[in-house]
A = this chain, B = another copy of it.
């Protein structure tokens, strides 16, 4: 005499297929944990024939090409959205919440864009809106931020949030290869898309960073609030210099709160080799969290892939189903405080600067004077190469980003500086111990 809760699925690509497989594979355990049998009763797909041909353990007649029919179906108790994109996913989720149906989604783009509005819709309807799978795939990070650290104060979140770029940087670092070469390899192997912009440009990581920043600091941070730089300009030289100085180069999303302002940024950084994030290789993701009482935490795992994402979705489905049966709600996002976004110009950090220079007496003095004129102090400097390939490598002390940017502008205008080849931020303050 088990109760039955009926799931409606929006989208049935590889993640959706994984969700169906997991829900039908662990029936007894899931029933024990939720207090109800979970049945997938409706699935919206683009192509009925293709969906039926996949041999998923559901009957043919659950498929429909009309996603609204899934949401509106009075037989559907819980809606799972794995179709992706802003539209029509956003409207469908809003409607499901309005109908009092809890929603589970893996849609980072949508949560980054409309999260606060959807949290509020869920609150108004008294049901759950869960999105563990939207950030860092299988890694439980939303739940720890919303629940485990609910009584603590998070001060900083640093995440390796994109598997493709971490794969590319790992290969570049271990093989001494250049960006274009590794990207081409990654595309051939299926680790990078034909159009890799969303990954290598940092857009994907920025959406996730916005979600994490909002949760960590109880405020609203949109993807467009996140300062963003990609990895396309990273060279083998940058990685070589980093290695020599005891750093690795990683594309990270960093969210922090300083004086009631929230900073959120995605860009490549020099990270000390001893930092727990430094050993995150290949396509793995990890999120490092600093909290006042808990101290340093890190969550590591597969940030993408059909089954890891499906695992996170099903964990959420079990959670919202248990709550629905008890007419309860799980942990909600905290009060959303209005906090200002800290502009990138106000960032205080160290910098690595690589300059192609004329190999002549006085260039170092000129360069040093330019830094000094803008209030940026140099911690380390040396020359590499000679003649046409002469380069100056500089590491600054902590400086204000705005001052550094002005320095770079002035350097670029100098007659004995041929080009500013690289500028990267150095996160030496984020140590493990």
**Interface set of A (CB-CB < 8 Å, partner B):** 18, 22-23, 26, 28-30, 32-33, 132, 138-140, 143-144, 147-153, 218, 274, 276, 278-282, 284, 286, 291-302, 305, 307-308, 310-312, 314-315, 317-319, 322-323, 326-329, 331-332, 334-335, 432-433
Contacts and interface: CB of A to CB of B under 8 A. Distances in A.
Number of chain copies forming the complex? 2
* Closest 6 A/B residue pairs (Cβ): A151-B314, A328-B328, A138-B294, A293-B311, A140-B148, A298-B300
A150 B33 contact: yes
B312 A148 contact: yes
B314 A150 contact: yes
Contact of A218 (B29, B292, B335): B29
From A280, A286, A295, name the one whose CB has the most chain B CB atoms within 10 angstroms: A295
Given A147-B315, A150-B318, A151-B317, A295 B33 contact: no
Contacts of A307: 292-295
Nearest to A146: B33
Contacts of A301: 294-298
A149 to B, nearest CB: 6
Contacts of A311: 148-149, 151-152, 291, 293-294
B308 A294 contact: yes
B153 A26 contact: yes
A63 B308 CA distance: 48
A278 B278 CA distance: 13
Contacts of A332: 33
A295 B300 contact: no
Given A33-B331, A297-B139, A315 B433 contact: no
Contacts of A299: 297-300
A295 B148 contact: no
B144 A140 contact: yes
Contacts of A322: 331
Contact of A150 (B30, B150, B276, B326): B30
A315 B138 contact: no
A22 B151 CA distance: 7
A143 B150 contact: no
A272 to B, nearest CB: 12
Contacts of A331: 33, 318-319, 322
A291 B298 CA distance: 18
A35 to B, nearest CB: 9
A148 B318 CA distance: 9
A302 B294 contact: yes
Contacts of A18: 293
A85 to B, nearest CB: 24
B323 A152 contact: no
A335 B432 CA distance: 38
Contact of A284 (B279, B280, B305, B433): B433
A275 to B, nearest CB: 9
Nearest to A318: B150
Contacts of A284: 296, 432-433
17 contacts: A18-B293, A28-B335, A32-B335, A138-B293, A138-B297, A140-B143, A140-B144, A143-B148, A144-B144, A147-B318, A276-B279, A284-B432, A292-B307, A294-B302, A295-B301, A297-B302, A323-B328
A373 B276 CA distance: 44
Contacts of A29: 150-151, 218, 334-335
Contact of A296 (B151, B278, B297, B302): B302
B294 A312 contact: yes
B138 A140 contact: no
A332 B33 CA distance: 7
A23 B282 CA distance: 41
Contact of A328 (B294, B300, B326): B326
A311 B145 CA distance: 12
B151 A23 contact: yes
Nearest to A301: B297
Nearest to A279: B279
